[in-house]
Structure 1
Amino acid sequence: MCGICGQFRYDGLPVDRELITSMTRALAHRGPDGEGSYFHGPVGLGHRRLSIIDPEGGAEPLFNEDHSLVLIFNGEIYNYRELTALLLGHRFATACDAEVILHAYEEWGTACVEKFNGMWAFALWDERKRGLFLSRDRIGEKPLFYSDTGASFLFASEIKSLLAAGVGREPALELTALYCALGYIPAPYSYYKKIRKLAPGRSLWIDKDGRTETRYWRFPCVPETEMETQPRRAEEMFSALLSDAVRLRLRADVPFGAFLSGGLDSSSIVALMAEALPPSVSTFTVGFPEKSFDERPLARLVAERFATRHRELTLHNEGFSDSLRVIRSCFDEPFGDSSAIPMELMTGSARTEVTMALSGDGGDETLSGYPSYQTERGVRHFRRFPSPIRSGGRLLWRALRPFFRGRSVYTWNRIERLFRSLEMNFPERLAEKTFRIPPPLVRALTRGCGPQVDPVEFLTERLQGLPFRDPFYKLMYFHFTVSLPDDMLAKVDRTSMRHALEVRLPFLDHRVVEYTAGLHKAVKMRGWERKSLLKRTVGRTLPRPLLRAPKRGFVVPLREWFKGDAARERFTALTALTDIGLDGNVLDALVRAQTTGTADYGQALWILSVLREWFSAADDKTENKRRSDNCHRLD
């Protein structure tokens, strides 16, 4: 795992070496083990290395035999040994996985990416063709940002590297509603007008004639009539694929461990690691003092079962301002998923003992394991009742509202939202379940912000043209193509690489993803049981209390933290967001409802606090830039 950056000038003039140096050093946290660069005419490449495989021989940039190809690489190619055996006649100078990319490109051209099992973002300069080939992995585990100024093309692993090159900081204010709804900025957008994200499963070719984007992989949309419906056959194939995915991801020349949340996914990964390795795998977990949010007791059961060296951390309701600064530093753009807070804490702790860790992230997407899939199954059953009965049930529920007090108000609110969503069409229901701030509140909050990318329309467009009739599979498509790469995987990459820790995700092995995409929902969810496939395979080796436990997820107890007068003081700074057009009355209403305990807007207020922190930092940097006489200028 590393950091990469570079520039290609369309006019053929030499690149600015100091500019590449500044970009590279902005990524030093991603690669503390070495720095390298390459300059030749219109191209300049920078690399920061985190050594995982062949620490002594894998310094980058890497070259082929005659130096006509130059590579900088971020990620891992897990099947590099198998590919090396296929590439007969090619001379390998190192034992690292990155070199296989060079020889695979020599053998198969840009189609080489279809051969890789791994996570990656890389740039390869082809001197003979005078072109730059960039690629991002299928699922989006590794990031790649770019800016095309018309005179030059710049790219980097993180936004901060592009900003170090002098790329403009003007915010894309038209994305404010989309951010408020989702809590993140989905590809290809960023919150900077001049910076874009290369979407997963895409490659770019850059030469003097311009930029060409190619989509080399798509999430499989298997016709519902052709899906696998035999549970036993599915269990055997899934178990074999996941076990092999773990085996490949244990290839490393450095100490490694695993994240163990106490949930089914991470526990299954630890079980498979324990099966493949000697005893005493290192495991790490984060918990909370609030018992209803804490999975540490379950994690201990798993650690005891598999005799791991287990480490625990506790995250308290303190350091609100420090957490905001950490999130700003990690992501460079507004990112409102509060689970990044414990993730950053856990990766920092793990890095003191290991350099690489396996994680269960991606299991909910691969196995269709979120509670929202149960909702989609329930919609059909609910709509079988005549409309008067459905309406009567909802009216009866509303009549019970006065009997719900204290924390039980949150339960009433949640079930009321469920009743409401069951009558919606799928895009509206997806918005109701997915948006961190409810759609009506997003519209009210951002009505003064000027023209906006409408969040519901964004979802509708992403779902257009799908062959699925059943919303269950549409939800699966959304998770894999939007929320997984732009929320979950962005969180894992940025928080872990802040501490130079590599994180590997067996559930996102492309073979596992492609196989489970073709499984019928009755195989994935037997009756109302989530993750039936995992429970009936690896799950058989896990402690029974874990299998019966309700899903908690890696959720921060913001609802409890953001109550009372002390919490109200934290949110006084949100009034500054009226400067970009957010409605002050709506902001006040959100704060009042949350701090008095009448509604749960903890996630919404965290999202808005992150946005406020980002604008505050952006204002400071703009002022500093104005005073500086040494800023780089892009031609």
Structure 2
Amino acid sequence: MCGITGIFTPYGSDPSRRDAIGRQMAARLRHRGPDADGFWSDDHVLLGHRRLAIVELSPLGAQPMASDSGRYVLSFNGEIYNFVALRDALSAAGHRFRSHSDTEVLLALIDRDGLAGALSACVGMFAIALWDRQERRLSLARDRMGEKPLYYGWCGQSLVFGSELKALTAHPGFDRRPSPAALEDVLARGFVGPADSIYASVSQVPPATIVSWDMTEIGTPDWNDGQQHRYWDRERVARDGLANPFVGSIDDAADALQATLANAIALQSHADVPVGVFLSGGVDSSLVTALMVALAPDRVRSYSIGFLSKQYDEAIAARAVADYLGTQHRDRYVSEQEALALVPDLAGIYDEPFADSSQIPMVILSRLAREDVTVALSGDGADELLGGYNKYARGDRLWHASTRPLLASGLRGADLIARPIAAMASRTNAARRIPWHSLSSASDLYQAGDRDTFIRSLGMLNRRAAQFVAVPSPSGCSGLACSSGFSYRRAAMLDDLRSYLPGDILTKVDRATMTASLESRAPFLDHRLVELCARFPDALLFDGDEGKRVARHLLYRLVPRPLVDRPKAGFMVPLGEWLRGELQPWARDLLASPATASVLNVPRCRSLLDQHCRGPHDLSARIWPILSVAAWAVATYS
């Protein structure tokens, strides 16, 4: 696990100046790789690397690394979990290796099969910068699910790229203009889309995609945007699953899930450093922990945190599962003061507005685990693959209700009364107690003319986000690809795999863990498991409104049912209380900054905060994205 960065100068430049800037860019990523740095350059490219040593701790694993042929030079962030099997196959074919590094195995595969062919053979998570010295081609690539980030954009005639935006912003020519569409996305959904960034000049390599620039094609149309090649397709996997569904009982499905997940855990537990697991006591993390315990030769280390408020405390449930499984468990209760003290640092950790408030406990949990281990497994991805979110069943009911003409017509017109009454609610105690804002939101939801738009609207924190942006985007929030042919629930799950999982969940985990120099691994995101879950029909995923049927069935074999049968709970903090209390001065100071006024409609934002502070309704889900934008703007433009 590492941080990568670099500069591509196809039009020529002063190499010494370019290399000096590249070193400054790499220094911004030291937290991702505190163990060593490395650089490689020629006339047109500089590759930089910050190393967090996980496999092959010796200098033989250092990067950037050149292939045996000398044709390719690679700067690589991530892990190839099946590298031992790949190395054995390559060795049997006559290849000789100098090290036990997965990077060397990946380069040998690229030498033989090309980049797309090599990545198709890999099980792993990664962000890659590859320079082809023969073809004079730069390629940037990202893993199938989007676990590892990779940003890129042009600074004048130089293409800059890196694992985090803070590397790119170190370039003196960086263009800091915000993207109005991304601002609106953050306010509507809480995160920037997985192919975009908060800056108009910067994109992300999309998951499962290679973006390349060939110097022989300089000047051709759209050359600056790069050529994109998708080497794996989530939608195709989903459609193949429909065409070839799993046939068998719930026991058969649990057997298949256990075999595939156990193999992923075994591969991801391989490291030359200590490995642990995040344990919340929920279905996903308990299942990963239970299988890890069954496979591990030594006692597994598990970690959880809790808050003193029972409403937000997961530590009790996690401790009960840990005691049953016999893990070496550490939990820690976080004081309100400690959590609040972290809030001003979030803009620096995430580099762009990010409004999932579970980022706060995630950062604290990562720091706790890093005291003992360098790698931690998690249960991330299970909800999106196995139908775990409550919104899948709830949205299904709401969508079918929209086909009832009388109900749909009434809800579409609801805000004719809801909006004016909500505006008066702050002046009338009786009106305050009625959730008029919820009725107005229902009206917005039923304006959706098709199912994909409805799914996107249901996932929004603020369906009228444009009114809070200083300069609204003409295009609005990014839309969805067509999901025709899927059931409502499968369409919603597919949308989350495309957008919410990489944009929110994986972004949260990557930045939180890497700020602590901790590598997080997600066994559920092994692409072979993704392909298996796509074949499970709805009857194996859902038991009425409750999702993850097959995962629960498997878990009940490993852990007593009473320990894990509890309502689904997110990784939550009492944000609404904090914004009425100790965080309120911080919030108001942010909204008073001139930097905030350059990107947000401050009067509307302040009015929403006032409603929250005065009234009984918790509007923190809509306010936190506004404050995340404001905190980013103050850090960027002040």
TM-score for both structures, normalised by structure 1? 0.88
What are the within-5 Å matches in structure 2 for residues 108-127 of structure 1?
Answer: 108-110=113-115, 111-127=117-133
1:94 and 2:116 are equivalent in the alignment: no
Q: Is the 8 A contact 1:46 1:72 kept in 2?
A: yes
Cα distance in 1 for residues equivalent to 2:553 and 2:56: 38
| Aligned match of 1:358 | 377
In the TM superposition, what is the alpha-carbon distance from 1:469 to its structure 2 partner? 4.3
Cα distance in 2 for residues equivalent to 1:491 and 1:453: 26
| Aligned match of 1:159 | 165
Q: Is the 8 A contact 1:23 1:164 kept in 2?
A: yes
Letter in 1 for 2:110: Y
SS in 2 for 1:153: strand
1:454 and 2:459 are equivalent in the alignment: no
Cα distance in 2 for residues equivalent to 1:168 and 1:505: 34
| Aligned match of 1:79 | 82
* The 10-residue stretch of structure 1 (145-154 or 381-390) with the greater mean CA deviation from structure 2: 381-390
**From 70, 73, 79, the counterpart of 2:73:** 70
Cα distance in 1 for residues equivalent to 2:526 and 2:515: 24
What are the within-5 Å matches in structure 2 for residues 105-184 of structure 1?
Answer: 105-110=110-115, 111-149=117-155, 151-166=157-172, 167-184=174-191
Q: Deviations over 1:464-511 (max 9, x none)?
A: 3x3434221211111101111111111111111111101100000000
**From 196, 199, 203, the counterpart of 1:196:** 203
Cα distance in 2 for residues equivalent to 1:420 and 1:543: 43
What count of residue pairs does the alignment treat as equivalent? 604
* The 10-residue stretch of structure 1 (479-488 or 468-477) with the greater mean CA deviation from structure 2: 468-477
* The 10-residue stretch of structure 1 (196-205 or 368-377) with the greater mean CA deviation from structure 2: 368-377
Q: Is the 8 A contact 1:593 1:600 kept in 2?
A: no
SS in 1 for 2:336: coil
> Using a 3 Å threshold, how does the CA distance of structure 1 residues 225 and 278 change in structure 2: closer, same or farther?
closer
| Aligned match of 1:300 | 319
What are the within-5 Å matches in structure 2 for residues 311-460 of structure 1?
Answer: 311-318=330-337, 322-379=341-398, 382=401, 387=406, 421=445, 425-437=450-462, 439-440=463-464, 442-446=465-469, 448-455=470-477, 458-459=478-479
| Aligned match of 1:47 | 49
> Using a 3 Å threshold, how does the CA distance of structure 1 residues 532 and 281 change in structure 2: closer, same or farther?
same
1:592 and 2:614 are equivalent in the alignment: no
In the TM superposition, what is the alpha-carbon distance from 1:433 to its structure 2 partner? 2.9
> Using a 3 Å threshold, how does the CA distance of structure 1 residues 358 and 469 change in structure 2: closer, same or farther?
closer
SS in 2 for 1:19: helix
Cα distance in 2 for residues equivalent to 1:490 and 1:29: 16
| Aligned match of 2:5 | 5
> Using a 3 Å threshold, how does the CA distance of structure 1 residues 410 and 50 change in structure 2: closer, same or farther?
farther
SS in 1 for 2:535: coil
| Aligned match of 1:629 | none
| Long gaps (5+) in structure 2 | 219-225
Q: Is the 8 A contact 2:513 2:519 kept in 1?
A: yes
Cα distance in 2 for residues equivalent to 1:391 and 1:94: 68
In the TM superposition, what is the alpha-carbon distance from 1:340 to its structure 2 partner? 0.9
After superposition, the CA RMSD in angstroms is: 3.0
**From 584, 589, 598, the counterpart of 1:580:** 598
> Using a 3 Å threshold, how does the CA distance of structure 1 residues 389 and 358 change in structure 2: closer, same or farther?
closer
> Using a 3 Å threshold, how does the CA distance of structure 1 residues 371 and 23 change in structure 2: closer, same or farther?
same
Q: Deviations over 1:572-623 (max 9, x none)?
A: 2224476236334432332123223422111222222221111111123xxx
SS in 2 for 1:205: strand
| Aligned match of 2:619 | 601
| Aligned match of 1:523 | 540
1:613 and 2:618 are equivalent in the alignment: no
Cα distance in 2 for residues equivalent to 1:492 and 1:118: 16
| Aligned match of 1:511 | 528
* The 10-residue stretch of structure 1 (574-583 or 291-300) with the greater mean CA deviation from structure 2: 574-583
Q: Is the 8 A contact 2:155 2:175 kept in 1?
A: no
In the TM superposition, what is the alpha-carbon distance from 1:539 to its structure 2 partner? 3.6
Cα distance in 2 for residues equivalent to 1:610 and 1:423: 28
In the TM superposition, what is the alpha-carbon distance from 1:537 to its structure 2 partner? 1.0
> Using a 3 Å threshold, how does the CA distance of structure 1 residues 42 and 534 change in structure 2: closer, same or farther?
same
In the TM superposition, what is the alpha-carbon distance from 1:229 to its structure 2 partner? 5.5
| Aligned match of 1:213 | 228
Q: Deviations over 1:133-162 (max 9, x none)?
A: 321100000111111346222211111111
Letter in 1 for 2:330: R
| Long gaps (5+) in structure 1 | 621-635
In the TM superposition, what is the alpha-carbon distance from 1:367 to its structure 2 partner? 0.8
| Aligned match of 1:487 | 504
Cα distance in 2 for residues equivalent to 1:255 and 1:82: 22
* The 10-residue stretch of structure 1 (490-499 or 172-181) with the greater mean CA deviation from structure 2: 172-181
Letter in 2 for 1:331: Y
Cα distance in 2 for residues equivalent to 1:491 and 1:117: 22
Cα distance in 2 for residues equivalent to 1:292 and 1:307: 26
In the TM superposition, what is the alpha-carbon distance from 1:380 to its structure 2 partner? 6.6
> Using a 3 Å threshold, how does the CA distance of structure 1 residues 422 and 262 change in structure 2: closer, same or farther?
farther
SS in 1 for 2:308: coil
**From 15, 26, 29, the counterpart of 2:28:** 26
Cα distance in 1 for residues equivalent to 2:443 and 2:551: 30
Letter in 2 for 1:32: P
In the TM superposition, what is the alpha-carbon distance from 1:27 to its structure 2 partner? 1.1
Cα distance in 2 for residues equivalent to 1:443 and 1:133: 36
Letter in 2 for 1:593: Q
SS in 1 for 2:78: strand
Letter in 1 for 2:28: A
> Using a 3 Å threshold, how does the CA distance of structure 1 residues 40 and 391 change in structure 2: closer, same or farther?
closer
**From 538, 562, 569, the counterpart of 2:585:** 569
Cα distance in 2 for residues equivalent to 1:453 and 1:107: 44
Letter in 1 for 2:455: L
Q: Is the 8 A contact 2:183 2:629 kept in 1?
A: no
Cα distance in 2 for residues equivalent to 1:527 and 1:148: 50
Q: Is the 8 A contact 2:599 2:633 kept in 1?
A: no
> Using a 3 Å threshold, how does the CA distance of structure 1 residues 146 and 444 change in structure 2: closer, same or farther?
closer
1:283 and 2:302 are equivalent in the alignment: yes
Cα distance in 2 for residues equivalent to 1:83 and 1:415: 56
Cα distance in 2 for residues equivalent to 1:532 and 1:598: 36
| Aligned match of 1:557 | 574
Q: Is the 8 A contact 1:10 1:207 kept in 2?
A: no
Q: Is the 8 A contact 1:4 1:74 kept in 2?
A: yes
> Using a 3 Å threshold, how does the CA distance of structure 1 residues 444 and 171 change in structure 2: closer, same or farther?
closer
Cα distance in 1 for residues equivalent to 2:132 and 2:399: 54
Q: Is the 8 A contact 1:263 1:546 kept in 2?
A: no
Letter in 1 for 2:48: G
Q: Is the 8 A contact 2:466 2:472 kept in 1?
A: no
Cα distance in 1 for residues equivalent to 2:323 and 2:443: 42
Q: Is the 8 A contact 2:77 2:126 kept in 1?
A: yes
Cα distance in 2 for residues equivalent to 1:581 and 1:143: 25
In the TM superposition, what is the alpha-carbon distance from 1:360 to its structure 2 partner? 0.7
Cα distance in 1 for residues equivalent to 2:65 and 2:109: 13
Q: Deviations over 1:62-106 (max 9, x none)?
A: 222243322211000000011112212222111011111110011
Cα distance in 2 for residues equivalent to 1:79 and 1:410: 56
Letter in 2 for 1:529: E
| Aligned match of 1:544 | 561
> Using a 3 Å threshold, how does the CA distance of structure 1 residues 451 and 489 change in structure 2: closer, same or farther?
closer
1:532 and 2:549 are equivalent in the alignment: yes
